[in-house]
Chains A and B, each alone.
Chain A
Amino acid sequence: MDRISTVKQILEAKFQESEIEVYDLAEGQDYLGIKVSSPAFIGKSLLEQHRMVMEVVKEPLKDDLHAVQIKTKIKTL
């Protein structure tokens, strides 16, 4: 399975009832964009929201965590 699908699947497992997008920002998937809109972010600061996403993608991305662009949004149900 390619990296985009792997990362998306892991995020979907962790963030329920959320909208998740994972996309290539450069050729060859060296630089990924991640968008998560989730009710899990309610009451969390932007810093905490990004930490929550990084915590989940840390393992599959390992050394490439540097090369992700993260956008988070609070989703109200």
Chain B
Amino acid sequence: MTNPFHISNNEPQRRFGTPIENPAGETTVQQIENLVKNHEVVLFMKGNPVFPQCGFSARAVGMLNSFSKPFNTFDILSDHEIRQDLKEYANWPTYPQLWIHGQLVGGSDIMAELYENGELEKLVQS
């Protein structure tokens, strides 16, 4: 039986998410604005694309990985201020949150619905 955690160097990895660390900005709100405005597609999630720390975040990463378009992620578990303040900034109480072109698309339920009807891919590629 193959080890499910083993990743062979010979296999191309279908993984397009790049975590952002230490976002620029003097205040938390400035950091949030830099994150959503300076990156086309950002997923605020628990953990990172390789090791998501929650099932909803894992599901969101899975959907984005299927589009072969690079995206960024931010681990909200790594920054308590951003984790708290983004909920208010977004007017959205939970994670993951997908932002595209500085706009909140939604959480994993909305992503799943848009994924199923093909809208998510259009938004990500836009």
Binding site for B on A (CB under 8 A): 46-47, 50-51, 54, 58, 65-66, 69-71
**A65 and B93 contact, CB distance less than 8 A:** yes
Q: Does B17 have its Cβ within 8 Å of any Cβ on chain A?
A: no
Residues in B neighbouring A47, C-beta threshold 8 A: 104-106, 110
Q: Does B94 have its Cβ within 8 Å of any Cβ on chain A?
A: yes
Cα–Cα, bound, A54→B87 (Å)? 13
The residue from B93, B104, B114 contacting A54, defined by CB atoms under 8 A apart: B93
Against A, the Cβ 8 Å flags (1 = close, 0 = not) of B74-105 are 00000000000000000111110000000011
Dominant secondary structure of chain A at its interface with chain B: helix
**A71 and B113 contact, CB distance less than 8 A:** yes
Cα–Cα, bound, A69→B112 (Å)? 11
Show 20 A/B contacts (Cβ-Cβ < 8 Å), sorted by A.
A46-B106, A46-B113, A46-B114, A47-B104, A47-B106, A50-B106, A50-B107, A50-B109, A51-B91, A51-B92, A54-B93, A54-B94, A58-B93, A65-B93, A65-B94, A66-B56, A66-B95, A69-B109, A70-B109, A71-B113
B37 to chain A minimum Cβ distance, whole angstroms, is: 18
Report B54-86 residues with CB < 8 Å from chain A CB. 56
Which 9 pairs from chain A and chain B are nearest by CB? A66-B94, A47-B106, A70-B109, A65-B93, A46-B110, A69-B109, A65-B94, A50-B110, A54-B93
Residues in B neighbouring A69, C-beta threshold 8 A: 109
Cα–Cα, bound, A75→B98 (Å)? 27
Cα–Cα, bound, A47→B92 (Å)? 9
Residues in A neighbouring B105, C-beta threshold 8 A: 47
